[in-house]
């Protein structure tokens, strides 16, 4: 098939700014510290952003990790963290109020393991229930399935020994030939690629600097500029090198941020980076003039050839290998300037130093290369049509139920590029909400992972959202049948239990002790109670964030949020009971699993 040309990606609460402001440099921005190719179907409607360029895509569709837009219906990794982050930790978000690790009522019991058995039920043999993935390429639900060609290539690669430096050189040259970039490198996932790229821009392949990372004291360049719109949980991969983050929110701040210590500019690909004064092209124009490389994080995007980000002026761009490319889940791509990509390899494993843990084996390197080889051969039009036909099958099945509507939504942008299906209904009429249906599907058998959804208008409209491109043939029928069975059954709405008067006025300051998996810490909750409603703030080990909650009789539920816009995301949900002047219960920490907590009001005996 003729290869299209290119064009222009990834994957948030409340509270104080992470890090501290660089007061010694008021003239500059605030410093935050922490030392195919193939023809696409007309339905894809790729926007044209560069003369003579077209989107080159694969299986089309991550975090987002993530960083990551999950179709036009609007679930992005940024929104997941803004809504609580726990959506990425599927068992947690779908278990309702149960403590982490508990089984949902009615869920099939995991079989007792009798030892690992290779075969169709390899996971069941050790007591793990697989799932049907109608969500997308989220790492927490194991991303994507590798292509058969990728599996075969990795199996063949595993049967021989090679010198990894030689392999990397050969793979780099082939990736350059396939993608049109100057050079390429396989990393241990996209996040590792971001780390290696940052090290390349800071140290340039210099071993004397490399062995000091992440201690950059005395290094000539130790700052990375990040536009405010690009702050996200994945920029931790940049900060891991020890660089200081200089955050900018305007063109003037960008200009002032550059200095002799500036090593790199990091941009999270996506709509905010496509247009405006802090677009990739606008930033690259300034950065290139000043001799500072730009790194674009395009983890969840389809791979464009010629590369849209490199054409916009970026020096480097990173992709996830285990998403729409359907390569190894533990692999990623770093493409761009040959000198910087080669330096990134110096700063990666198997070479010793800080990045030794970010190792890529010969199998992942060959598997990732095969994924790109297949990317330029796959019939993306046929894939798109197949996904659409699956969604239409599901839509026909569920809309046979009175009151159900289903709409195929076409995506916008390059991230997680796939059509999706929004199935909506009136919660009052049907007697159940999208969240409850998603939970039942995840807890049932066969197990189906999809997203709850809401209608665009206010009111009781609810539903679910389905992404097809990580489904296997035949699974669309299972999803359709399970949805139909749930939605066509008798109403499951129960009479709402009236809220009980609060057992105690919780207003005041509470000293909290949290018991983690292998440690503990003390936090503080500042609470204000009005009737059954609670608000206030949560002071953690290092950062403060806003909270809100309720008290129903003696049952307390308090949730605090620290948003991804700070470069990190923390979501704590305290559930527990009042016992005199004490509180205790379980703590849901979203993707960081669970803990136990106790609290006593300040002024009373310590917990």
Of 375, 399, 415, the last residue of a domain is 375
Residue 53 lies in a domain: no
Cβ atoms within 10 Å of 295's Cβ, excluding its own: 25
Is residue 564 helix, strand or coil?
Answer: helix
pLDDT score at 508:
96
Tell me how far CA of residue 451 lies from CA of 136, 295, 464, in angstroms.
Answer: 10, 31, 6
Within a domain: 38? no
Whether the per-residue pLDDT at 607 is higher than 60: the answer is: no
Within a domain: 206: yes
The CATH number that applies at residue 191 is 3.40.640.10
What are 590's two structure tokens? 């979203």
Do 426 and 353 reside in the same domain of the chain?
Answer: no
- Based on the fold, state whether residues 266 and 407 are members of the same structural domain: no
Structural contact between residues 216 and 243, judged by C-beta atoms closer than 8 angstroms? yes
User: How large is the average pLDDT for residues 152-169?
Assistant: 98
Q: Which of 190, 243, 280 is nearest to 10 (CA)?
A: 190
pLDDT of residue 75: 52
Indicate the pLDDT class of residue 61, thresholds 50, 70 and 90: very low
Whether a cis peptide bond, with omega within 30° of 0, leads into 85 is no
Distance between CA 212 and CA 353 in Å, rounded?
A: 8
Is residue 78 scored above 60 in pLDDT?
A: no
Does 401 share its domain with 475? Answer: yes
User: CA-CA distance, 481 to 467, in Å (whole number)?
Assistant: 16
* pLDDT (average), residues 477-485: 97
Confidence of residue 104 (pLDDT cuts 50, 70, 90): very low
Q: How many CB atoms lie within 10 A of CB 322?
A: 28
Q: Could you give the dihedral angle defined by the CA atoms of residues 40, 46, 51 and 56, in that order, rounded to the nearest 10 degrees?
A: -40
Q: Is residue 572 part of a domain?
A: yes
For residue 106, is it within any domain? no
Give me Rg for the CA atoms of the chain: 25
Cβ-based neighbour number of residue 489 at 10 Å:
11
Cα separation, 133 vs 472, in Å, equals: 9
DSSP type of residue 86: G
What's the confidence (pLDDT) of residue 33?
34
Q: Return the pLDDT at 415.
A: 75
pLDDT class of 121 with cuts at 50, 70, 90: very high
Phi, psi dihedrals of residue 132, rounded to the nearest 5°: -90, 125
d(CA 367, CA 364): 5
- The pLDDT of residue 496 is 66
Q: Which of 436, 457, 488 is the last residue of a domain?
A: 488
Query: Are 433 and 355 within one domain?
Result: no
Closest by Cα among 178, 268, 187 to 567: 268
Residue 63, pLDDT score:
31
- Domain boundary (455, 488, 521) is at 488
One domain, residues 153 and 171 = yes
Of the ranges 85-99, 251-265, 299-313, 393-407, which one carries the lowest mean pLDDT score?
Answer: 85-99
Are residues 464 and 449 located together in one domain of the fold? yes
d(CA 84, CA 591): 9
Q: Report which DSSP code applies to 145.
A: P
Q: Are residues 361 and 470 in the same domain?
A: no
What confidence tens digit (pLDDT) does each residue in 286-301 have?
999 999 999 999 999 9
How do residues 393-424 score in pLDDT, each as one tens digit?
999 999 999 999 999 998 877 877 899 999 99
CATH of the domain at 560: 2.40.128.120
Query: What is the span of the domain harbouring residue 458?
Result: 380-488
pLDDT-derived band of residue 566, with 50, 70 and 90 as boundaries? confident
* Residue 47 included in any domain: no
Are 293 and 173 within one domain?
yes
What pLDDT is stored for residue 504 in this prediction? 94
Q: In what order do the strands lie in the sheet with 451-454?
A: 405-409, 420-426, 461-466, 451-454
Contacts of 402 (CB under 8 A, 6+ apart): none
- Note whether 207 and 305 are same-domain residues: yes
Q: Residue 560 — very low, low, confident or very high, per pLDDT cuts 50/70/90?
A: very high
Domain count, the chain: 3
In this predicted model, what pLDDT tens digit does every residue of 500-509 receive, in sequence order? 999 999 999 9
Instruction: For the beta carbon of residue 462, count every other beta carbon within 10 angstroms.
Output: 22
Beta strands in 255-371 (DSSP E): 262-268, 294-297, 316-320, 332-336
What span, in angstroms and rounded, lies between the C-alpha atoms of 464 and 482? Answer: 13
Taking alpha carbons only, the member of 554, 550, 545 closest to residue 590 is 545
Q: Tell me what the mean pLDDT of segment 24-31 comes to.
A: 37
Q: Are residues 331 and 185 in the same domain?
A: yes
Is 177 a member of any domain? yes
Residues 344 and 415 grouped into a single domain: no
Residue 90 near residue 104 (C-beta atoms within 8 A):
no
Give the angle 100-106-110 at the CA atoms, nearest 5°: 65
Confidence of residue 110 (pLDDT cuts 50, 70, 90): low
CATH of the domain at 464: 3.90.1150.180
pLDDT at position 490: 56
| Helix H or strand E encompassing 171 | helix 164-179
**Domain identity same for 419 and 356:** no
**What secondary structure letter does DSSP report for 202?**
H
SS (H, E, C) 432-500: CCHHHHHHHHHHCCCCEECEEEECCCCCCEEEEEECCCCCCCCHHHHHHHHHHHHHHCCCCCCCCCCCC
Under 8 Å CB-to-CB from 277, ≥6 apart: which residues? 250, 251, 254
pTM of the model: 0.82
Q: Is residue 6 part of a domain?
A: no
Tokens of 123: 């996971």
């Amino acid at each position: 098939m003729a290869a299209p040309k290119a064009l222009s990606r990834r994957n948030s609460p409340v509270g104080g700014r992470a890090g501290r402001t660089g007061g010694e440099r008021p003239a500059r921005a605030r410093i935050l510290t922490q030392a195919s190719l193939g023809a696409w179907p007309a339905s894809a409607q790729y926007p044209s952003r560069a003369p003579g360029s077209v989107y080159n895509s694969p299986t089309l569709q991550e975090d987002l990790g993530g960083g990551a837009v999950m179709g036009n219906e609007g679930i992005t990794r940024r929104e997941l963290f803004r809504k609580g982050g726990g959506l990425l930790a599927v068992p947690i978000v779908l278990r309702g109020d149960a403590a982490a690790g508990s089984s949902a009522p009615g869920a099939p019991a995991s079989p007792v393991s009798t030892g690992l058995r290779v075969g169709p039920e390899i996971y069941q043999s050790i007591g793990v229930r697989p799932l049907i993935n109608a969500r997308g390429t989220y790492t927490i639900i194991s991303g994507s399935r590798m292509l058969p060609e990728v599996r075969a290539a990795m199996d063949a690669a595993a049967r021989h020994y090679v010198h990894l430096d030689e392999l990397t050189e050969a793979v780099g040259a082939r990736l350059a030939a396939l993608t049109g970039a100057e050079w390429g490198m396989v990393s241990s996932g996209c996040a590792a690629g971001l780390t290696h790229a940052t090290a390349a821009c800071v140290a340039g392949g210099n071993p004397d600097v490399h062995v000091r990372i992440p201690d950059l004291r005395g290094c000539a360049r130790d700052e990375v500029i990040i536009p405010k719109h690009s702050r996200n949980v994945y920029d931790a991969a940049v900060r891991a090198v020890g660089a200081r983050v200089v955050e900018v929110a305007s063109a003037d701040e960008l200009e002032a941020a550059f200095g002799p210590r500036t090593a790199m500019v990091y941009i999270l690909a996506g709509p905010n980076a496509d247009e405006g004064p802090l677009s990739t092209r606008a930033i690259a124009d300034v950065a290139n003039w000043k001799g500072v490389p730009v790194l674009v994080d395009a983890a969840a995007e389809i791979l464009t050839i010629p590369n849209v980000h490199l054409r916009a002026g970026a020096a480097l761009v990173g992709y996830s290998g285990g998403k729409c490319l359907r390569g190894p889940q533990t692999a990623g791509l770093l493409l761009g300037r040959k000198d910087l990509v080669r330096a990134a390899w110096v700063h990666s494993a198997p070479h010793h130093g800080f990045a030794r843990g970010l190792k890529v084996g010969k199998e992942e390197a060959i598997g990732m290369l095969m994924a790109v080889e297949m990317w330029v051969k796959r019939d993306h039009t046929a894939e798109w049509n197949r996904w659409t036909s699956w969604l239409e099958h599901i839509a026909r099945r569920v809309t046979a139920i009175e009151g159900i509507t289903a709409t195929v939504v076409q995506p916008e942008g390059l991230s997680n590029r796939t059509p999706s299906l929004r199935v909506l209904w009136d919660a009052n009429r049907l007697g159940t909400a999208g969240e409850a249906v998603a939970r039942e599907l995840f807890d049932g058998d066969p197990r189906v992972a999809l997203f709850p959804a809401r209608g665009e208008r206010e009111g009781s409209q609810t539903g679910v959202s389905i992404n097809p491109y990580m489904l296997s043939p035949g699974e669309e029928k299972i999803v359709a049948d399970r949805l139909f069975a749930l939605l066509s059954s008798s109403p499951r709405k129960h009479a709402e239990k009236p809220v009980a008067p609060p057992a105690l006025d919780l207003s005041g300051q509470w000293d909290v002790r949290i018991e983690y998996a292998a440690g503990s810490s003390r936090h503080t909750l500042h609470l204000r109670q009005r009737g059954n409603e609670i608000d206030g703030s949560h002071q953690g080990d290092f950062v403060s964030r806003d909270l809100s909650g309720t008290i129903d009789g003696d049952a307390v539920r308090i949730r605090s949020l620290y948003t991804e816009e700070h470069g990190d995301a923390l979501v704590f949900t305290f559930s527990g009971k009042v016992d005199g002047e004490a509180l205790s219960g379980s703590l849901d920490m979203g993707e960081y699993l669970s803990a136990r907590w106790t609290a006593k009001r300040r002024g009373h005996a310590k917990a």
